[in-house]
């Protein structure tokens, strides 16, 4: 299985601390050594780093850790393959354009029957069940909202509906971002924390690396972090309930939906 990491904020923030914790699980502290990826939004466009090499040993991952890029929304993934070979084409997160913006997606789990689902104008490049599920999800959203959704409620409900349909075919933990909000579906294991004032010190779960967030934030900052397994050992993370979808916007959990 893979590990997911998402970040959604109300102010520009770098993901270096959390990404360092995730990257260590990509071959050093965990078995997720079949590639890694990180997408960082700048408005409607996502800047994407992908590498089929283990994150713990990747020069590109080291570059990302040493050159912080601030963003309002980020999605990262370390892969332990279950379907599809180790290759750049099969490395998460996947990116497609819909409604004039990039959609970014990463998946943890196996959806064995996903190829039963019909695709629209979106086609997989690799051979994973994960990418096929992403293409189906976007096709379904495009079908319901050809020009884009006018209602955030209808939009969130549609994501929950189609993510739930995919989830009935297997294990479907996923992150989906559109540049303005982050959807996170829990099938088996997912956690989140919202860092806000009063900020405190946090230490990575797998390494003796700490950050005093009070020293690098303002009282108005709010940062939501979503991970398969909690990345820190001295913070309280909320555990997801299976078959639920979280919707994060401007660093807040704005909706929780059954799916």
pLDDT reported for residue 25? 84
**How many structural domains comprise the chain?**
1
CATH number at residue 75: 3.60.20.10
What are the tens digits of pLDDT across the range 107-163?
999 998 898 898 989 999 999 999 999 999 999 999 999 999 999 999 999 999 999
Q: Which domain holds residue 77?
A: 3-258
At residue 137, the pLDDT reads 97
* Residue in 2, 9, 186, 259 annotated catalytic: 2
Residues of the chain with pLDDT under 50: none
Q: Quick check: is 2 catalytic?
A: yes
Q: Is the dihedral of CA 66, 67, 69, 70 positive or negative?
A: positive
The pTM (predicted TM-score) of the whole model is: 0.96
């Amino acid at each position: 299985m893979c590990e997911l990491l998402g970040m959604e904020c109300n102010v520009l923030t770098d993901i270096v601390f959390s990404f360092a914790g995730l990257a260590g699980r990509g071959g050093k502290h965990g078995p997720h050594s079949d590639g890694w990826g990180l997408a960082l939004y700048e408005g409607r466009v996502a800047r994407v780093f992908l590498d089929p090499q283990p994150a713990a040993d990747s020069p590109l991952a080291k570059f990302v850790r040493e050159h912080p890029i601030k963003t309002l929304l980020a999605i990262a993934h370390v892969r332990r393959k279950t379907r599809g070979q180790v290759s750049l084409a099969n490395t998460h997160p996947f990116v497609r354009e819909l409604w004039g913006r990039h959609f970014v997606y990463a998946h943890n789990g196996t959806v064995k029957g996903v190829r039963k689902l019909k695709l629209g104008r979106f086609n997989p490049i690799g051979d994973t069940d994960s990418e096929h599920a992403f293409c189906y999800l976007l096709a379904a959203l495009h079908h319901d909202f050809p020009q884009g959704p006018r209602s955030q409620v209808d939009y969130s409900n549609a994501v929950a509906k189609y993510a739930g349909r995919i989830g009935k075919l297997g294990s479907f933990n996923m992150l989906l971002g559109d540049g303005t909000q982050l959807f996170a579906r829990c099938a088996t294991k997912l956690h989140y924390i919202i860092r806000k004032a009063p900020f405190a010190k946090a230490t990575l779960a797998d390494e003796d690396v700490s950050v005093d967030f009070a020293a690098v934030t303002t009282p108005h900052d709010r940062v939501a972090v979503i991970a398969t397994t909690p990345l820190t050992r001295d913070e309280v993370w909320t555990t997801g309930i299976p078959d639920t979808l979280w919707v994060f916007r401007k660093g807040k959990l704005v909706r929780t939906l059954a799916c």
